[in-house]
Structure 1
């Protein structure tokens, strides 16, 4: 748990709560947001309208929450708000130069997993939101090789809000580091039966049905 009412220097403000949050199971997709970024109110513009108990949540994240009695219910609400606030800050931070560097390191290590598609040959994935609206959709994983998105394998990652990563992050990363984007895979799986492509067999069956129907019509006309 974050330390309340810390008396350490300003350089230590964001250290404890962020470290605790990052250590929670399931939060491996997040990177640690620089304390200077969190303490710059310009970076948080508008978030006070999106997060309940915004001020207390911000104080909790930065270990400035006064050590005053608080009901268990209110404390739970503030903790939930702090997690959500950090996630929204995170979505803004990871498209900054410093944030991209941190997420790039995680990408290179394969922290987000690898594409399950066989022909992508284990290409690394990146977290992405399918909407920027909070509490709508869970985070997805984007493969830059097949340009498709997948659900995380782990249930704990399926609980992460996709808005904490946003819809622009992977594409911003490859705009800044274009050399890292692999060439699209030109391999496609083709269903076959006894060596024949399925769609060719279907065309053959349709042609046979048409010929059979025409033969029936000719026989009927001959009888008349």
Structure 2
């Protein structure tokens, strides 16, 4: 809404629209898009058919808006400008400059921390579950537990997920692999008077078997992957046909036991 911008004149509004938009409450997930990126028509390819009042909205976002219009039209142009900025934002944050800006916000925990206790407050990243607008709202991805969560604030929960896209968080860790946290074996184990709950314990055994099987399969292809809690000595494992047969028998038996324990 135009009246949300606390300025005295329309010229002040158009001169600082991007600064105002990024700093507004509820828009903390967005970074400021560089002006040269917005003025390059190649970066805006196809958006003219998706945004009403496209040219006026672009003029407003790029601070060259100069139109004497009534309040209703201004409100429509403002809405279109927000939508246009969000769509361009999804493209910008996968560029080198955009990734650097989002990385800075990620390090400062501007997107919040993982609510999972075992993740120890690891920073989150915004992501969309669809690249097309008006399908899903933005979610928050935790790279440590590799799960997604709803934003706490209702202001953030109403943001379109397409403004961040489905690939941003994955590209970020491809470009900055050192930031990808180590995965942990730690998990909560429900107990009654100190004893593990039977069904949960059976599920935990099945998950452990699946993880061991993944280690074995990676070892066959000379690929190594170690969790935080695993010792260095576990890296040196030999794989031969005899061990494969024993391994297959053990996994099959444990899997059957797990199904029985779970009542399947």
> Which bin holds the TM-score, normalised by the shorter protein?
0.7 to 0.9
What corresponds to 1:218 in structure 2? Answer: none
Who is 1:38 aligned against? 38
- 1:187-219 Cα shifts (integer Å, max 9, x gaps): 11111112222225998xxx9xxxxxxxxxxxx
SS at match of 1:90: helix
Match of 1:9 in 2: none
Q: TM-score, normalised by structure 1?
A: 0.82
2:100 aligned counterpart, secondary structure: helix
The residue number in structure 1 matching 2:115 is 116
TM-aligned CA distance change 1:202 to 1:144, over 3 Å: closer
Structure exhibiting the larger radius of gyration computed from Cα positions: 1
Partner residue, 1:73 = 72
Counterpart-to-counterpart distance in 2, 1:54 and 1:200: 57
TM-aligned CA distance change 1:171 to 1:202, over 3 Å: closer
Question: Contact (CA 8 Å) 2:114, 2:142: kept in 1 or not?
Answer: yes
Matches within 5 A, 1:84-99: 84-99=83-98
Is 1:166 the equivalent of 2:165?
A: yes
Contact preservation (8 Å) 1:4, 1:64: no
Give 2:140's aligned residue: 141
* Greater RCO (Cα-Cα under 8 Å, separation 6 or more): 1
Instruction: Report the Cα distance in structure 2 between the residues aligned to 1:202 and 1:102, rounded to whole angstroms.
Output: 44
Give every structure 1 segment of 4 or more consecutive aligned residues whose post-TM-superposition deviation is greater than 3 Å: 1-6, 200-203
Pair 1:42–1:199, CA change in 2 (3 A): same
Is residue 2:17 matched to residue 1:17?
yes
How far the C-alpha of 1:5 sits from its partner, in A, is: 5.9
When the two chains are superposed, the root-mean-square deviation of aligned CA atoms in Å is: 2.4
| 2:55 alignment partner, SS class | helix
Number of the residue aligned with 2:26: 26
Structure 2 gaps, min length 5? 203-259
Q: Distance in 2 between matches of 1:50 and 1:198?
A: 53
Task: Give yes or no for the alignment of 1:48 onto 2:35.
Answer: no
- Indicate the SS of the match to 1:142: strand
User: Number of residues paired by the alignment?
Assistant: 199
So what's the TM-score if we normalise by structure 2? Answer: 0.70
Unmatched 5+ residue regions in structure 1? 7-13, 208-224
